[in-house]
Amino acid sequence: MKKIFIALILLITFSTAGYGFNLEGIGRLNLPQVNEPATPTLSFGDGDTGLYENADDSISVAIAGVLKFQFLPDFISSGVTGGGALKASAASATVPAILFAGDADTGIGSAGADILSLIAGGVEGIRIEESGGVIGNSIGGKVKFSSLQTLTGAGAVDLTSSTTHIVSTGVNALTLADGDNGQIKFIIMKTDAGDATLTPTNPGNFATIVFDAVGDSAYLLFTNGKWYFMGGTATLT
């Protein structure tokens, strides 16, 4: 009882001295709202790391005088725009639960049990789902292959771009090294100043592919250690 009395005296003293402690009812300690990460209301060590309330219904975490995280009614959020955030409410195919601070409609949600939804701008772009131990993928909207190589004259068709545009400068020899298993490659003749002949290191169902007109194309798949022609208008030999 004596210790409790001493604690009450100390709290009243701190409050009277302007330290912001207000005792309201038994067992309740009400701290003031302070908008300052450099001097959080409930601090530790040298005083610049701790907890404070910078707005109503929020708890902020400051470390070394910098706002790091915020606990809000619906989110646990990074203190910087673009940082990670978790949403407390249920996710859906268009509402992410794992998202980014300042961008509440972009992230990862779920259309149901065993389903992941990749969401951008409130629209489900990619769905990954499991059924019977098998993973299925579906893509909504446009599919765009953004990486592009423009190959002028003879040389190597690269493996880092999804698409290669051929700009021939005469009769040109092209090469293509082995890819990764399952890799696809699109090759299209953009400018025709002579035939371009492609000879992969390990061709599958062809020996060479000849591009001899603007628009000639080849869709290739690397599998089982070889490149296979899957479609297109270029000439196979």
Look at residues 55, 88, 85 and name the one whose alpha carbon lies nearest to residue 73. 88
Name the pTM for this structure.
0.60
Q: Is the pLDDT of residue 141 over 50?
A: yes
Q: How confident is the model at residue 226 (pLDDT cuts 50, 70, 90)?
A: very high
Residue ranges per structural domain of the chain: 19-71, 75-139, 148-236
Nearest to 167 by CA among 155, 148, 150, 185: 150
Buried b (16+ CB within 10 A) or exposed e, 158-173: eeebebbbbebeeebe
Beta-sheet pairing, 134-139 with 123-131: antiparallel
Residues 217, 194: Cα–Cα separation, whole Å? 15
State the average pLDDT over residues 3-15. Answer: 48
Topology at the third CATH level for domain 148-236: Jelly Rolls (2.60.120)
pLDDT for the residue 5: 47
Confidence of residue 107 (pLDDT cuts 50, 70, 90): very high
The region of weakest confidence among 6-10, 188-192, 231-235 is 6-10
Q: Are strands 172-176 and 155-157 parallel, antiparallel or unpaired?
A: parallel
What's the confidence (pLDDT) of residue 151? 97
